């Protein structure tokens, strides 16, 4: 059976989602979970983009045990050198160079002629090949490129030493018939003594990212690029979990397999959702909360008689119902540490100590601590550790009529406590006004969302906020988790405010 390689770009294209910023520690955590999930190739970042990106790619290159680690580079020598520096210690390094080939991109963005584009591909793929065994080339905006010129660009890259050709539908413009046709055309027409791997990269602007990726596979692509939960630029990338499940459930049709460990899917999705701050819609395929809920009576009756009547994917297959052993108030440190290991966390002695204190604190208020609670708690802890200003205290004065008052104190990077008090039409508004005063800024609160992490009346609250910088229009996200709604709201707002402050 044909094996499809899974290429994950959650940390590169996924991070290009407005407001998504993973720190290095979070990137490593995601990378390690991706390796556990069975990802073959990880695009860890764009090393030349910033010092932070460079460090993260380097750290992932040094921690990945099995995965190929990829760095993105434009067709420029300095990009390729920087990627080499970041990746040289990887077990299996790979470079991903790209250059746009569509008329609109060449004319308006690159301001290059076709001849110049071809010359640049030849020069830079050739140069990359002197440093890397594995060179991937992407003709950016391939789906809007003239077929003949696309073939010429791809053939040039192959002749210069690229063995992986990625065909991006950069703007999410293509459809399955057309996109599959591009692969068929290229595969039939290229000339090479070496085996060339073709790869798909799709965006979901027209809602066809997964369908397009599958069409590419049907037409000979052996690699699929995408991101967990389908996050990414604009409408996002191909959701890799969808492709993995489609190949598995419809093995009869596609005749392909992958290395994806399906029952790690939900856990991977949860982690990315939590760290990116982008919630998974309830009706999302494979991983949405409602994906396995049968509401209508006829369906329920059928599922009870035989699950196969309406259920093509079982929750266990993707790891949804793996809430094996919840912890509680009486769980000791040993059980706690074992649970962390089971969830794939590698914490230092100090971090474990801090996490255990938080856990005990939560267990005083909540009867059963589920896996979701624990993941939330640990994410919250690691986010807080990296914050410059931390929430110290919130005090609210509530009256059932008129204005509400809030006093908020934070501890800044120097360890100084700052206090502000403000009023607002509601308690949360009063808290946010006080935080704005402390940060000396006035962002626009674009989104405020509250959700319970688990069911039950003793559930923890998870608040997600999105702030817009009124001048730069940049977007910042924050998540706060707490037993108390107001405290969670304050934490989320401070997290987003910290990020906004760092950008100034």
Give the footprint of Zn ion on this chain (CB under 5 A).
13
Instruction: Name the residue nearer to Zn ion (CB basis): 70 or 355.
Output: 70
Q: How far is the CB of 346 from Zn ion (least distance, A)?
A: 30
Phi, psi for 387 (deg, rounded to 5):
-80, 145
The closest of 53, 62, 115, 55 to 88, measured between CA atoms, is: 62
Q: How far is the CB of 178 from Zn ion (least distance, A)?
A: 18
Q: Does 201 count as an annotated binding residue? A: yes
Instruction: Name the residue nearer to Zn ion (CB basis): 17 or 33.
Output: 17
Contact between 229 and 278 under an 8 Å Cβ cutoff? The reply is yes
Question: Which residue sits closest to Zn ion, CB atoms considered?
Answer: 13
Instruction: Name the residue nearer to Zn ion (CB basis): 13 or 241.
Output: 13
Q: How far is the CB of 205 from Zn ion (least distance, A)?
A: 11
Instruction: Name the residue nearer to Zn ion (CB basis): 235 or 325.
Output: 235
**Hunting for tokens 């996002």 — which residue is that?**
236
Contacts of 209 (CB under 8 A, 6+ apart): 169, 172, 202, 203, 226, 230, 235, 236, 237, 238, 239
Q: Show the tokens assigned to 75.
A: 């067709």
Q: How far is the CB of 146 from Zn ion (least distance, A)?
A: 21
The closest of 451, 471, 465, 463 to 496, measured between CA atoms, is: 465
Q: Does 203 count as an annotated binding residue? A: yes
Q: How far is the CB of 169 from Zn ion (least distance, A)?
A: 9
Q: 400 by DSSP, 3-state: which?
A: coil
Phi, psi for 364 (deg, rounded to 5):
-70, -30
Q: How far is the CB of 57 from Zn ion (least distance, A)?
A: 17
Q: Does 92 count as an annotated binding residue? A: no
Q: How far is the CB of 394 from Zn ion (least distance, A)?
A: 40
- The CA-to-CA distance between both ends of the chain, in Å, stands at 53
User: What does the angle CA 456 – CA 459 – CA 464 come to, to the nearest 5 degrees?
Assistant: 130
Residue 15 CA to residue 228 CA, distance in Å, equals: 11
Instruction: Name the residue nearer to Zn ion (CB basis): 161 or 230.
Output: 230
Q: Show the tokens assigned to 193.
A: 């003594």
Instruction: Name the residue nearer to Zn ion (CB basis): 204 or 241.
Output: 204
Instruction: Name the residue nearer to Zn ion (CB basis): 40 or 233.
Output: 233
Count Cβ atoms below 10 Å from residue 205 Cβ, excluding itself.
17
Instruction: Name the residue nearer to Zn ion (CB basis): 235 or 357.
Output: 235
Residues found in the chain: 504
What string of H, E and C letters represents the secondary structure of 292-322? CCCCCHHHHHHHHHCHHHCCCCCHHHHCCCC
Do the strands 41-45 and 2-3 form a parallel or antiparallel pair, or are they unpaired?
Answer: unpaired
Q: How far is the CB of 203 from Zn ion (least distance, A)?
A: 6
Instruction: Name the residue nearer to Zn ion (CB basis): 32 or 171.
Output: 171
The closest of 270, 493, 499, 482 to 386, measured between CA atoms, is: 499
Q: Show the tokens assigned to 431.
A: 């808290």
Q: 97 by DSSP, 3-state: which?
A: strand
Q: How far is the CB of 452 from Zn ion (least distance, A)?
A: 34
**Hunting for tokens 């391939």 — which residue is that?**
142
Residue 44 CA to residue 96 CA, distance in Å, equals: 11
Residue 407 CA to residue 466 CA, distance in Å, equals: 22
Q: How far is the CB of 305 from Zn ion (least distance, A)?
A: 44
Instruction: Name the residue nearer to Zn ion (CB basis): 200 or 370.
Output: 200
Residue 287 CA to residue 379 CA, distance in Å, equals: 20
Q: Does 301 count as an annotated binding residue? A: no
**Hunting for tokens 């991903």 — which residue is that?**
96
Q: Which residues are annotated as a binding site for Mn(2+)?
A: 13, 201, 203, 237
Q: Which residues are annotated as a binding site?
A: 13, 201, 203, 237
């Amino acid at each position: 059976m044909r094996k499809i390689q899974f290429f994950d770009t959650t940390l590169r294209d996924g991070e290009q989602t407005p407001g998504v910023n993973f720190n290095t520690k979070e990137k490593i955590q995601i990378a390690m979970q991706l390796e556990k999930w069975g990802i073959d190739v990880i695009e860890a970042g764009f090393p030349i983009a910033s010092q932070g990106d460079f460090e993260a790619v380097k750290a992932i290159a040094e921690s990945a045990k099995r995965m190929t680690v990829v760095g993105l580079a434009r067709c420029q020598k300095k990009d390729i050198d920087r990627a080499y520096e970041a990746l040289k210690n990887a077990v299996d390094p790979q470079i991903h160079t790209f250059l746009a080939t569509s008329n609109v991109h060449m004319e308006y963005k690159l301001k290059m002629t076709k001849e110049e584009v071809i010359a640049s591909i030849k020069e830079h793929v050739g140069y990359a090949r002197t440093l890397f065994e594995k060179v991937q080339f992407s003709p950016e905006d391939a789906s809007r490129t003239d077929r003949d010129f696309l073939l010429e660009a791809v053939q040039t890259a192959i002749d210069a030493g690229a063995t992986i050709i990625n065909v991006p539908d950069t703007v999410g413009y293509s459809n399955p018939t057309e996109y599959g046709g591009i692969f068929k055309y290229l595969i039939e027409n290229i000339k090479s003594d070496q085996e060339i791997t073709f790869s798909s990269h799709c965006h979901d602007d027209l809602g066809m990212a997964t369908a397009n990726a599958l069409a590419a596979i049907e037409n000979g692509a052996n690699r699929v690029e995408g991101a967990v939960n389908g996050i990414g630029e604009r409408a996002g990338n191909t959701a890799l979990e969808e492709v993995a499940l489609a190949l598995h459930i419809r093995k009869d049709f596609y005749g392909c397999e992958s290395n994806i460990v399906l029952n790690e899917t939900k856990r991977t999705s949860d982690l990315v959702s939590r760290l990116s701050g982008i919630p998974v819609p309830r009706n999302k395929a494979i991983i949405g909360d409602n994906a396995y809920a049968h509401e209508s009576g006829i369906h329920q009756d059928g599922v009870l008689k035989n699950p196969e009547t309406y259920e093509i994917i079982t929750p266990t297959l993707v790891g949804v119902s793996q809430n094996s052993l919840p912890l509680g108030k009486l769980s000791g440190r040993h059980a706690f540490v074992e649970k962390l290991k089971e969830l794939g966390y590698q914490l230092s002695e100090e971090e474990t100590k801090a996490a255990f204190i938080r856990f005990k604190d939560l267990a005083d208020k909540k009867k059963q601590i589920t896996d979701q609670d624990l993941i939330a708690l640990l994410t919250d802890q690691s986010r807080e550790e990296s914050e410059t200003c931390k929430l110290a205290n919130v005090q609210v004065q509530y009256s059932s009529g008129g204005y509400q008052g809030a006093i908020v104190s934070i501890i800044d990077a120097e360890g100084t406590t700052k206090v502000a008090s403000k009023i607002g039409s509601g308690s949360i508004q009063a808290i946010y006004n006080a935080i704005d005063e402390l940060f000396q800024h006035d962002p626009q609160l674009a989104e405020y969302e509250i959700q319970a992490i688990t069911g039950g009346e003793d559930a923890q609250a998870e608040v997600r906020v999105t702030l817009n910088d009124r001048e730069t229009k940049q977007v910042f996200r924050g998540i706060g988790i707490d037993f108390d709604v107001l405290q969670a709201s304050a934490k989320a707002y401070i997290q987003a405010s910290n990020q906004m402050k760092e950008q100034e």
